[in-house]
């Protein structure tokens, strides 16, 4: 049965797949599940966040090519397939007031039209399960929010023969999830465990910002056990060398503590066309039986 199971993870930029659900994907790959990452943009407007690589003109002048190579290495490490939807990175606007988004960028596309590229990929790959971002984008980057919007349209439209007839034979995916790996409960649990061991926590500022945003906690429905693949996740993340500081907060939590305190990656079931019983520990729960 596993060689018939297919998972599609829809992400905004190269590196998002390695910071959100990477261990889950590696786990399913190890079980024989076919996994495809759909990357909406090329990450062209991303900044060089690794201080060791900042100021290198060969990187900054060729960001699209550099990030494509990083994505290929992360894909290889995770063992997944990967496709580009071909949209242009919108960048993260900063300032008060915020500047307008760049003309032609992903976040300014017509939602129905942009969803057509994802519908086509869904119909070609035929996933039973799709993961994406919630309505807040996970965080309010315009490309993450746009990724949510086209994912919702495509999930509903892919199985409808009257919509996007040029995009191939209809395929109806069974389940849609929101990535919720950075949920408050997990962050608090690891933060408190670090302090209890007398270690410094990288999450203190995160938790303060959580209070500032005052967002309600999400309805986490699904906890996928994947602790044995956390090293694979981290190696894939480090492959995105321009985006990740190897000495940064991502890697300050000891691996044994992560596995002890929170050995899962977490999701919110947004839509299901199969019967489910919550909470779950498998994205394919209900699909395997069907």
- The answer to whether the annotation marks 64 as part of a ligand binding site is no
Length of the chain: 290
The contacts of residue 92 (CB under 8 Å, 6+ apart) are: 45, 141, 142
Are the C-beta atoms of residues 130 and 174 closer than 8 Å to each other?
A: no
Name the residue among 230, 247, 240 with its Cα closest to residue 76: 240
Residue 65 CA to residue 225 CA, distance in Å, equals: 34
Long-range pairs for 148-156: beta carbons < 8 A, 24 or more residues apart: 149/111, 149/115, 150/40, 150/111, 150/114, 150/115, 150/117, 150/118, 151/10, 151/118, 151/176, 152/176, 153/111, 153/112, 153/115, 153/118, 153/119, 154/115, 154/118, 154/119, 154/122, 155/122, 155/130, 155/271
The tokens 């915020």 sit on which residue?
A: 98
Contacts of 136 (CB under 8 A, 6+ apart): 145, 215
**Degrees to nearest 5, angle at CA 273 with 269 and 277:** 55
- Determine whether the annotation assigns residue 223 to a binding site: no
Taking the C-alpha atoms of residue 58 and residue 80, their distance in angstroms, rounded to an integer, is 28
Supply φ then ψ for residue 225, to 5 degrees: -70, 120
The answer to whether the annotation marks 275 as part of a ligand binding site is no
Q: Which residues are annotated as a binding site for Zn(2+)?
A: 13, 16, 144
Q: Which residues are annotated as a binding site?
A: 13, 16, 144
């Amino acid at each position: 049965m596993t060689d018939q199971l297919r998972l599609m993870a829809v992400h905004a930029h190269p590196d998002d797949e390695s910071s959100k659900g990477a261990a889950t994907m590696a786990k399913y790959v190890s079980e024989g599940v076919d996994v495809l990452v759909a990357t909406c943009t090329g990450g062209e407007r991303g900044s060089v966040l690794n201080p060791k690589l900042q100021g290198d003109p060969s990187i900054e002048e060729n960001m699209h090519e550099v990030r494509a190579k990083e994505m290929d290495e992360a894909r290889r490490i995770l063992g997944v397939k990967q496709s580009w939807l071909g949209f242009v990175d919108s960048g993260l606007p900063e300032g008060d007031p915020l500047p307008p988004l760049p003309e032609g960028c992903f976040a300014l596309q017509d939602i129905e039209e942009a969803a057509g590229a994802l519908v086509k990929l869904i119909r070609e790959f035929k996933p039973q399960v799709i993961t994406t971002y919630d309505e807040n984008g996970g965080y309010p980057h315009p490309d993450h929010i746009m990724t949510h919007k086209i994912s919702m349209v495509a999930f509903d439209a892919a199985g409808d023969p009257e919509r996007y007839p040029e995009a191939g034979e209809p395929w109806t995916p069974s389940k849609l999830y929101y990535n919720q790996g950075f949920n408050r409960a997990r962050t608090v649990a690891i933060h408190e465990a670090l302090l209890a061991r007398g270690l410094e926590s990288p999450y203190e500022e995160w938790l303060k910002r959580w209070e500032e945003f005052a967002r309600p906690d999400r309805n986490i429905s699904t906890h996928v056990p994947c602790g044995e693949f956390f090293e694979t996740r981290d190696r894939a993340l480090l492959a995105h060398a321009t985006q990740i500081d190897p000495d940064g907060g991502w890697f300050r939590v000891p691996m044994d503590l992560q596995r002890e305190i929170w050995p899962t990656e977490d999701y919110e079931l947004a839509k299901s066309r199969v019967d489910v019983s919550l909470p779950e520990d498998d994205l394919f729960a209900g699909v395997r039986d069907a």
